[in-house]
Amino acid sequence: MRQGYSALHSPAGTFSWRILRNYLDRVLACLAIIAVLGAVSNVSMAAETRIGLGIVWSASLPGVPRLCYDKVPAVIYMKYDLARKTTSIMKRELSGDEHLLGEFPGSPDPRSLSCSQDGSVIAAMDGYSQTLFLLRDSEAALYRLSQFWPFSNAGRYSFLAPDGKSITLSEKPDLISGPDLLHDMKIFPDKRSTVFFMNDYLYVNDVTGINKLTDVEGGRPAQGQRFKRPPGFEANEIVRCGDRDVASLVGTESSRYLVLDNAPPRKDWLEQIGVRKLFRKYHAPFLISGDYGTCGFPLLDHARPNYTIALASFDANGVQTFSLPYPEIRLINDNVSFGKNGCIALIQGFWSTQQGDDNTHLLAIQSQRCR
């Protein structure tokens, strides 16, 4: 013992003790790194864990229903009465209760139904694209265009802007009835190009590419930025996903997705947050839809691309995936909409085990945050 004690305090023993301490420090550092990597791995695995979805209500609704509300989730849709030759705009509440918002003569253009993000402004066109219906709060107005307009509402906000203060029209229409709600709205003239309104700017998809207009005065661009499209592809939708704008580019047989930020390919945001990984794992969707800053798309079975086996959403915080109440659904359109608080979703389609004709489903996200 005495010899060992002396050796430990000898110059050689001191040197050995320092080596041992350095070695232990390195071991502990390595263990810490492994622990951090394990935690990151667990976070990654948790991010891939699907969150459950429960059905709030299902209904058979015509056209293309839209989420449209300020605080309490609600869905609007158009219903045509053949006997009266009148279109009614209906609102279906979270509880399932329905009430009438307004009416206009003639049949509807199903894709024209549009709503501002605060739910205060609603716009729709008739099937002949000559009658415009506008509703602001409880005031309704009808307008008439002088000639046929080959209207095509490509995106969620291609007709009415998210703030309800701008609209795309081929001309300034004549007021038929009600207050002149267009008086204090900006009219962006349609010139056979597709417009995608954002909150304080817009994109125009034309023969030159995708043009971002950051200042619009009298419907004319004051300044902007241009993004190139791959040959043979057109912008079918542009949506705000968190803090990025994402364009769905549709070609003859496939779709591509472009983040409108001019970042180099190695810094592609969709790749960084894991969206493109899902595109590789599942059959790529036709388009990415979005509203209220959250974007969504169906996760499609590779063997049967028409069948959706889960849903995905993403925003500035990353990607989440959701399991369906039933094993799969055959969607009848590509609008996968998530609500303002990220706790509800709206889809249209038929479950694989479904009995009946319900085609519209309001879903609740079953997470701790949404309880």
Q: Which pair of structure tokens corresponds to residue 32?
A: 């810490």
Assess if residue 254 is contained within a domain: yes
* Parallel/antiparallel/unpaired status of strands 318-323 and 51-59: parallel
Could you read off the pLDDT of 141-164 as tens digits, one per residue? 999 999 888 877 889 999 999 999
Asked if residues 143 and 175 have their Cβ atoms less than 8 Å apart, the reply is: yes
Q: What are phi and psi of 34, to 5 degrees?
A: -60, -40
Residue 253 structural domain: 50-370
CATH number, domain with residue 201: 2.130.10
Least confident residue range of 4-13, 187-196, 267-276, 286-295:
4-13
**Number of structural domains in the chain:** 1
CA separation for the pair 226, 273 (Å, rounded): 25
* Mean pLDDT, residues 93-111: 95
Assess if residue 36 is contained within a domain: no
Q: What is the pLDDT of residue 21?
A: 53
Assess if residue 35 is contained within a domain: no
Nearest one of 262, 86, 87 to 77, comparing CA atoms: 87
Q: What is the pLDDT of residue 371?
A: 79
Q: What is the pLDDT of residue 3?
A: 39
**Is the confidence at residue 254, as pLDDT, over 60?**
yes
Assess if residue 261 is contained within a domain: yes
Asked if residues 58 and 358 have their Cβ atoms less than 8 Å apart, the reply is: yes
Categorize the per-residue pLDDT at 190 as very low, low, confident or very high, splitting at 50, 70 and 90. confident
**Is the confidence at residue 266, as pLDDT, over 70?**
yes
| CA 164 remoteness from chain centre | 18
Could you read off the pLDDT of 318-330 as tens digits, one per residue? 999 999 999 999 9
Assess if residue 22 is contained within a domain: no
Task: Kindly report whether the global pTM for this prediction surpasses the value 0.85.
Answer: no
Assess if residue 41 is contained within a domain: no
* Mean pLDDT, residues 280-308: 93
3-state secondary structure of 166: strand
Contacts of 263 (CB under 8 A, 6+ apart): 269
* Mean pLDDT, residues 282-290: 93
Categorize the per-residue pLDDT at 245 as very low, low, confident or very high, splitting at 50, 70 and 90. very high
Token pair 């996968």: residue: 336
* Mean pLDDT, residues 352-358: 91
Contacts of 55 (CB under 8 A, 6+ apart): 325, 361, 362, 363, 364
* Mean pLDDT, residues 163-184: 95
Categorize the per-residue pLDDT at 217 as very low, low, confident or very high, splitting at 50, 70 and 90. low
Assess if residue 32 is contained within a domain: no
Assess if residue 228 is contained within a domain: yes
